[in-house]
């Protein structure tokens, strides 16, 4: 068994680690720490969130800091919460090291205060890309003598659109600095940065799942989208004492779910990009102190949240990419605690749970949304468990207690118990009368036997996948693809099938007979100044896909087909065709749909 002492850390850092209860390094720490201590080569380290990456780069840098030399290291991370967490971790590691100064810089706080702090001098800066770039432009932050550059959660920074800021920052650093890139995935954009700024970097990879993943069990419930919130309520009510992050996809959905929970008297708070830093700090303090038991958050806002004792993680909606599921579920089951990851999925998403099982190497249990009577019984059982665990103590004035006993003599024991339960759980008793079944029938694509795969996510013999070099980070979406197709008159009538919108690129399926026309028509065109490159993408299975046909059926009815000139058509269900597809035929502008 390897220990931190064997890795070569100095005695002051070892004291800090002892105070924190750190005994043995995680796999990524065991590999990265000796490398950074012994080598000046650049490093690309791949490991999931929750595997101890901060200590992996922070400890060897702290071990080598010369407090007489000024700024020597800069650590760049995607969001302010992670920036503050890394800064605090470094301070905790180095609390027995003399005079090491660590300064966090991030947006959402007054820049003049951060400027004054930097001017007083510091050894390590931890910052978000936008604020670091701003301080460089103001000539306050000077990186010409920097020895270490750390890019933490590099994949997230690129997904969030910080590539230009990162390029500008790295161009200000000396050629002989050591660059340490930490990421959960090795995407094309990560490889591009590594190639441009890191040369022949060493690469280490830790294939383990998030720490605590072995102590996390996984469940999913199948409900119709219209019943999703009511299903969430029932699941929460069936889990007395639940302490959880509820993940949503968008800011709007996050706020909507939080508002509905508060309106129903749940102690919930919301965390998304529109929440100010001051509010965010107050919310997180309340959540960590368990004054709030439910935190409703987007994936980006949840980065940097460091809470070890969550009982559950709840996916109100599955993330767009299956791999993100491991980031979410890794928030629970930490620090020797067990945890549960719960997902609410629509009937069409059931096959994604099989894909997720392959990623996490564990089964995901299918469960039924509880009825009101089940919830009522769970609440009572939990209450009785609490009562049984309480040690009976003197309640004070014996005469007063005798008066209480005298007043309650008129009740039989059974009546008294019923009255106490009714008084405490009256609202759950009302809920127990609700017998509506929220469970939907799972729609499995093809056979569920191993090896058959997902029929909905496989191409028919008449379709082919095309890969285009623009994705979500370029502002590309389904409407953008439809508009691009419609702008080419010779593509009239091309059917668009499944679509994968990724950060750096997109893949969509078309009729095989028209694929060549689509490639020729779109190659060399531009989208928001980006030259379009398109080619056939063979052998791809859509891990998560949306199709224009599905969007049309869901929002407008009928099938969706690209028509030259920009107008879509849809069937009215009686064999007749009428204008639709989301565009006004005369004005060529998007219509405003009334929300359902």
Measured between alpha carbons, how far is 226 from 369 in angstroms, rounded to an integer? 14
Cβ proximity of 37 and 60 under 8 Å? yes
CATH of domain 213-369: 3.40.50.300
pLDDT in tens, 90-118: 999 999 998 899 999 998 788 999 999 99
C-alpha closest to that of 61 among 92, 84, 94: 94
Residues 6+ apart with CB under 8 A from 56: 26, 28, 29, 31, 32, 33, 45, 47, 182
Lowest-confidence range among 467-481, 517-531, 569-583?
Answer: 569-583
Question: DSSP states of 130-154 as a string?
Answer: HHHHHHHHTT-S--TT--EEEETTH
| Alpha-carbon distances, residue 431 vs 59, 66, 233, 426 (angstroms) | 53, 64, 11, 9
pLDDT exceeds 60 at position 167: yes
pLDDT exceeds 70 at position 489: yes
pLDDT in tens, 527-557: 888 889 998 886 554 444 444 444 434 333 3
State the fold for domain 459-580: Alpha-Beta Plaits (3.30.70)
Residue 474 backbone dihedrals phi, psi, to 5 degrees: -90, 5
- Helices in 321-397 by DSSP H: which ranges? 324-329, 350-360, 372-389
pLDDT band at 458 (very low <50, low <70, confident <90, very high): low
pLDDT exceeds 50 at position 452: no
Amino acid 493: pLDDT: 66
Report which listed range, 10-14, 273-277, 394-398, 557-561, is most confident.
10-14
Query: Stretch 580-592: mean pLDDT, rounded?
Result: 40
Please state whether 65 falls in left (phi above 0), alpha (psi between -120 and 50) or beta: beta
What residues does each domain of the chain span?
A: 5-205, 213-369, 373-430, 459-580
pLDDT band at 143 (very low <50, low <70, confident <90, very high): very high
Query: Stretch 359-374: mean pLDDT, rounded?
Result: 86
Mean pLDDT of the chain: 80
Amino acid 348: pLDDT: 86
C-alpha closest to that of 539 among 465, 468, 469: 465
Helix (H) or strand (E) holding 203: strand 202-205
Six-digit token string for 22: 């750190």
Measured between alpha carbons, how far is 581 from 584 in angstroms, rounded to an integer? 9
Interior angle at CA 588, CA 582 and CA 590, nearest 5 = 40
Cβ proximity of 80 and 108 under 8 Å? yes
Instruction: Count the residues in the chain.
Output: 596
C-alpha closest to that of 212 among 330, 315, 359, 310: 330
Amino acid 94: pLDDT: 94
Report which listed range, 41-55, 278-292, 296-310, is most confident.
278-292
CA dihedral 250, 253, 257, 263 (to 10 degrees): 130
pLDDT exceeds 90 at position 76: yes
Lowest-confidence range among 108-122, 138-152, 510-524, 552-566?
Answer: 552-566
Amino acid 435: pLDDT: 66
Superfamily of domain 5-205, CATH level 4: P-loop containing nucleotide triphosphate hydrolases (3.40.50.300)
pLDDT band at 462 (very low <50, low <70, confident <90, very high): low
The total of other beta-carbon atoms located within 10 Å of residue 112's CB is 8
| Strands in 42-141 per DSSP E | 43-46, 73-76, 102-105, 124-127
Same fold, 5-205 and 213-369: yes
Is 463 exposed, middle or buried, given 0-12, 13-18 or 19+ CB atoms closer than 10 A?
middle
Amino acid 461: pLDDT: 61
Cβ proximity of 369 and 438 under 8 Å? yes
pLDDT in tens, 235-267: 998 998 899 999 998 888 999 999 999 998 899
Residue 130 backbone dihedrals phi, psi, to 5 degrees: -65, -45
pLDDT higher for 427 or 1? 427
Six-digit token string for 366: 């299918």
């Amino acid at each position: 068994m390897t220990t931190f002492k064997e890795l070569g850390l100095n005695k002051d850092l070892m004291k800090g680690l002892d105070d924190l209860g750190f005994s043995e390094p995680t796999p990524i720490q065991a590999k990265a720490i000796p490398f950074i201590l012994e080598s000046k080569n650049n490093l690309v380290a791949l490991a999931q969130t929750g595997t101890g990456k901060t200590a992996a780069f922070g400890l060897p840098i702290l071990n080598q800091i010369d407090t007489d030399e000024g700024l020597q290291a800069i650590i760049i991370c995607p969001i302010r919460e992670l920036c503050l967490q890394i800064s605090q971790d470094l301070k905790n590691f180095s609390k027995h090291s003399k005079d090491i100064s660590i300064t966090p810089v991030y947006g959402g706080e007054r820049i003049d205060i951060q400027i004054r702090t930097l001017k007083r001098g510091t050894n390590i800066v931890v910052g978000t890309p936008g604020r670091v770039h701003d301080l460089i432009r103001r000539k306050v932050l000077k990186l010409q003598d920097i020895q270490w550059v750390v890019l933490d959660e590099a994949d997230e920074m690129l997904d969030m659109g910080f590539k230009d800021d990162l390029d500008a920052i790295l161009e200000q650093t000396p050629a002989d600095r050591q660059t340490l890139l930490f990421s959960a995935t090795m995407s094309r954009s990560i490889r591009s940065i590594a190639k441009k700024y890191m040369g022949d970097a060493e690469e280490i990879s830790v294939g383990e799942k998030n720490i605590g993943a072995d102590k996390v069990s996984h469940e999913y419930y199948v409900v119709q989208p219209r019943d999703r919130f009511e299903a969430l309520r029932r699941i929460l009510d069936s889990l007395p004492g639940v302490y959880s992050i509820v993940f949503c996809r968008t800011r709007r959905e996050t706020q909507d779910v939080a508002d509905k929970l508060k309106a129903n008297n749940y102690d919930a708070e919301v965390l998304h990009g529109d929440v100010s830093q001051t509010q965010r700090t107050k919310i997180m303090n309340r959540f960590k102190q368990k004054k709030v038991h439910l935190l409703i958050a987007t994936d980006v806002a949840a980065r940097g949240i460091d809470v070890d004792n969550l009982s559950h993680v709840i996916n109100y909606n599955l993330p767009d990419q299956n791999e993100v599921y491991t980031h979410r579920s890794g928030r629970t089951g930490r620090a020797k605690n067990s945890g549960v990851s719960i997902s609410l999925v629509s009937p069409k998403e059931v096959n994604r749970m099989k894909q997720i099982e392959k990623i996490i190497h564990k089964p995901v249990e299918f469960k039924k949304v509880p009825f009101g009577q089940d919830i009522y019984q769970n609440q009572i059982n939990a209450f009785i468990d609490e009562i049984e665990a309480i040690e009976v103590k003197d309640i004070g004035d014996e005469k007063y207690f005798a008066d209480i006993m005298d007043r309650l003599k008129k009740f039989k024991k059974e009546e008294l118990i019923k009255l106490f339960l009714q008084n405490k759980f009256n609202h759950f008793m009302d809920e127990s009368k609700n017998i509506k079944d929220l469970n939907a029938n799972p729609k499995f694509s093809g056979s569920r036997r191993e090896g058959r795969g997902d029929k909905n996510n496989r191409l028919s013999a008449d379709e082919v996948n095309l890969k285009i070099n623009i994705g979500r980070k370029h502002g590309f979406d389904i409407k953008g693809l439809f508009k691009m197709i419609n702008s080419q008159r010779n593509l009239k009538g091309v059917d668009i099938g499944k679509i994968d919108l990724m950060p750096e690129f997109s893949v969509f399926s078309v009729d095989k007979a028209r694929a060549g026309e689509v490639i020729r028509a779109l190659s060399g065109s531009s989208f928001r100044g980006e030259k379009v490159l398109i080619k056939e993408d063979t052998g791809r299975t859509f891990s998560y896909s949306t199709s224009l046909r599905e969007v049309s059926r869901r929002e407008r009815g009928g099938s969706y087909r690209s028509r030259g000139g920009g107008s879509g058509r849809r069937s009215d269900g009686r064999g007749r065709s009428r204008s639709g597809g989301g565009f006004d035929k005369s004005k060529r502008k998007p219509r405003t749909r009334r929300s359902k």
